[in-house]
Amino acid sequence: MILHIKQVIDTGTLSVIQDKLGSASFANGRESAGWAAQGVKDNEQLRAPHPLIELLLKRLQQHEMVQQAARPLQFVNTMINRYQPGQSYGTHMDDALMFARDSGVAISTRTDLSFTLGLTPLADYEGGELVIEDSSGERSWRIDAGDLLLYPSSFLHRVNPVSAGTRTAMVGWIESLLREPQQREICFDLFQSLQYEFNAHGKTSQFDQLSKTYNNLLRRWAKR
């Protein structure tokens, strides 16, 4: 399940972020790339801990659909990245295990989901598509400011070269309470049905039974 969730960040927060990022100092993106990805990663980045990342992360964590779709246990390695014209991030695989950078203790976190949260309006850059590959081929997304793309970390992916403007985004990884993509999709779908039933007919016996199944599956599968 790959989800494109629109308008995860309100326009007020976005304009504060865009304004403050203007004076932030970015480092070379290769610093945090895995050994094999270093050769294909050409961007700049701002890493945690940083107040702007904290603010955006808080908004993401409070978002109902993000909670339902990802069932996050932990967010790890969240950063803001930036691609200038000509910059790109070639095809790569995200590391399965990452270290929480500022925790002091080296405990690895499993990356079940990757996300990109757009920070630049579509009209302000060209190119810079996030392309995800699977056995059936490729699909690409241009991500608008405030929109989130949430995808399983198990896919090869790349960011095409930016041809004009600057593409800024927050990216990061999530360890989920539901490890398998299929478990997440089943729970997500059930929750949608549950909400639909409640909104259409109220707390019916059909709702109660769906709720029982949904909560018992979550209880069975959720693992920390």
The one-character DSSP state at 180 is: S
169-188 positions binding ligand AKG, by CB under 6 A: 169, 171
CB of 137 to Fe ion, least distance (A): 19
| 56 touches, from Fe ion, ligand AKG, none (C-beta below 5 to 8 Å by class) | none
Query: What gap in Å lies between CA 24 and CA 186, rounded to an integer?
Result: 41
Site string for Fe ion, 88-107 (x = CB under 5 A): ------x-------------
Q: Which helix (H) or strand (E) holds 82?
A: strand 72-83
Q: For ligand AKG, what does the binding mask look like between residues 129 and 168, x meaning CB under 6 A?
A: -x--------------------------x-x---------
Distance between CA atoms of residues 143 and 129, nearest Å:
8
Q: Is 157 annotated as a binding residue?
A: yes
- Contact yes or no for 159/129 (Cβ under 8 A): yes
Instruction: Mark 29-68 with x for binding to ligand AKG (rule: CB under 6 A) and - for no binding.
Output: ----------------------------------------
* Closest residue by Cα to residue 130 from 118, 142, 112, 146: 142
Q: Report the alpha-carbon angle 91-111-181, nearest 5.
A: 90
**Residue 79 Cβ vs ligand AKG, minimum distance, rounded to whole Å:** 7
User: Alpha-carbon torsion 135, 136, 137, 140, what sign?
Assistant: negative
Nearest by Cα to 169 from 2, 12, 29, 1: 29
Q: Does 76 bind ligand AKG (CB under 6 A)?
A: no
Pick 56 or 186: Cβ nearer Fe ion:
56
- Applying CB under 6 A, the residues found at the interface with ligand AKG are 81, 89, 94, 116, 130, 157, 159, 169, 171
